Amino acid sequence: MTTDLTAFAREIFDAQPFSRLLGAELTAVGPGSAEIRVRNRPELRQQHGFVHGGVLGYLADNALTFAGGLALGGDALTAEYKINYVRPAVGETIVARAEAVVTTRRQAVCQCSVLALRDGAERLVAVAQGTIVAAGARQPDLPPTPPAPDGTP
């Protein structure tokens, strides 16, 4: 089962052009967990020399979505996420580790730690939480949208 899970996750990850652009690697998956890494390089840094917050946000978002999708048993999307940056990201590699905390039929609430690896030590640089929904999940019925004043739908 782990081999099938890994192959499934890798197929989805490899289909993400943005992940390839950043040089990200999906390094571990499990039922409801995921780890993604990016090697630190100059083009990923902001003006102070720290890894850009957008890169940390990408790592958290994608790790959360993989963890939630694997917990839900299929392809998934982020419904929302929140990130707290706790210190500047400096180190050779940035790692996001996420896990599903609560899973229902339609969604998974997940948590993620983003760490900077420097000289073999890990240092927490951000924490995130997100709600992940199955990509094929039926959306709740909403009341019809009223027509525009000119009568167009």
> Could you give the CA distance from residue 30 to residue 110 in angstroms, rounded to a whole number?
14
Backbone angles phi, psi at 23, to 5 degrees: 75, 25
> Could you give the CA distance from residue 153 to residue 144 in angstroms, rounded to a whole number?
10
pLDDT (tens digit per residue) in 79-135:
999 999 999 999 999 999 999 999 999 999 999 999 999 999 999 999 999 999 998
Pairing of strands 33-39, 93-103: antiparallel
pLDDT band at residue 143, thresholds of 50, 70 and 90? very low
| Cα Rg of the chain, angstroms | 18
- In the chain the domains, ranked by start, together with CATH numbers, are 2-134 (3.10.129.10)
pLDDT band at residue 58, thresholds of 50, 70 and 90? very high
Higher pLDDT, 147 or 130: 130
pLDDT (tens digit per residue) in 1-31:
557 889 999 999 999 999 999 999 999 999 9
Eight-class DSSP state of 100: E
Taking residue 16's Cβ as centre, other Cβ atoms within 10 Å add up to 13
Q: What share of the chain is helix, strand, coil (3-state, %, to 5)?
A: 25, 40, 30
Per-residue pLDDT at 149 exceeds 90: no
Q: Are 55 and 22 in contact (CB under 8 A)?
A: yes
Q: What is the per-residue pLDDT for 141?
A: 45
**What is the number of alpha carbons within 13 Å of residue 30 lying toward its C-beta?**
6
In 3-state terms, what secondary structure has residue 84? strand
